[in-house]
Amino acid sequence: MAGFLNAVSACLVLLMLMSVGYFMGHWGWMTAAEKKFISKFIVNIAVPCNCLVGLLNNLDRSSLVQAGGMVLAGVLAVVANLLLSAVVAVILRLPRPRWGVFVAMAGLSNTIFIGIPVCTQLFGEVSMPYIMLYYLGHTSFLQSVGIMLVERAGTKSGEKSSPVKFLKDMFSKPPILSVILSIVLLLLNLRLPEPVMKFANYISGSVSPLALIYCGFIVYEVGIRNLHFMRGLPTMLVVRLLVSPVVCLFCCSLLGMEGLPLQVFVVESALPVVSQVTVMAGEFGADEEYAAVGSCLSILGSFITIPILMLILG
């Protein structure tokens, strides 16, 4: 019960932070330009700093072998969930502009913009290494399978993906580079200079509030009145928020994960639709409204399902 009450309290805090972004949009204080700045700052500066602080302060060289097994467990869970989502999409007989969008929404989780604030609220900063290990396996599918699914659902040609482009995109992302740097430093048993670590610590503190302000503004952009259940969206929410954590729990338990790492992975798998799906849907000519409404509904729905999940996890 304590875990449930803690999750309810954490979700209330997160909702209040999201409301800041919503009302800033409503009052005209925040526009698409500020939204773009916040997104760029979080992904390219704040999250890499968060990675460095979280990994270097909570892992050591002896724990890296175990970390590799955790990444494998996360990958297995994502693969299983994507396959399940594809089967469900076939059963629903969704039209082409929505099929790939549905699979990407149901199969992939918002590990950064929602994942970091949720997990740090629930488990504390000690959860950061496990968040980033889940992100490491998860983002490889987002940048490959996720883009391919939405691209094939669209009507525009866009920029076609390829193995070379995938590797370039994957290893040019600042969060991935910061994870690699942290692992190298841990292997060499080295630390960054103290001023650098203090700088990273200060910057990393901005991730959670800014990420939630960003998500709140997205809800404002879509509009509360425009949130309605299009065909397939209720099923998508069930898969994304309820079935996905069960799949992750099974896969992680199968590979011997337990304790805090297991809890973090399960919560990370139970989060809303990844924000990039909506962006990709617009870029490739898929059903952008379908993606935007599904994303917002999943954000709001997660604040109901996460406390229940924490009650089950204990």
**242: which DSSP letter?**
I
First to last CA, the chain: 7
Q: Which domain holds residue 33?
A: 2-313
| pLDDT at residue 170, rounded to an integer | 65
* Euclidean distance between CA atoms 241 and 269, whole angstroms: 8
8 Å CB contact between 298 and 240: yes
**109: which DSSP letter?**
B
CA torsion angle 47 73 106 139 (round to 10):
30
* Euclidean distance between CA atoms 134 and 43, whole angstroms: 16
| pLDDT at residue 52, rounded to an integer | 86
Token pair of 130 as six digits: 């496990």
* Euclidean distance between CA atoms 190 and 61, whole angstroms: 10
Which helix (H) or strand (E) is 183 found in, with range?
helix 174-187
Task: Write out pLDDT tens, residues 232-260.
Answer: 999 999 999 999 999 999 999 998 888 89
Give how many domains the chain has, as a whole number. Answer: 1
| pLDDT at residue 146, rounded to an integer | 72
| pLDDT at residue 169, rounded to an integer | 66
Q: The CATH number of the domain where 131 resides is what? A: 1.20.1530.20
Which helix (H) or strand (E) is 76 found in, with range?
helix 64-92
Q: Which residues of the chain have pLDDT under 70?
A: 1-3, 143-144, 154-163, 165-167, 169-170, 282-283, 314
| pLDDT at residue 161, rounded to an integer | 56
Contacts of 165 (CB under 8 A, 6+ apart): 159
Its pTM surpasses 0.85: no
- Other C-beta atoms within 10 Å of 6: how many? 15
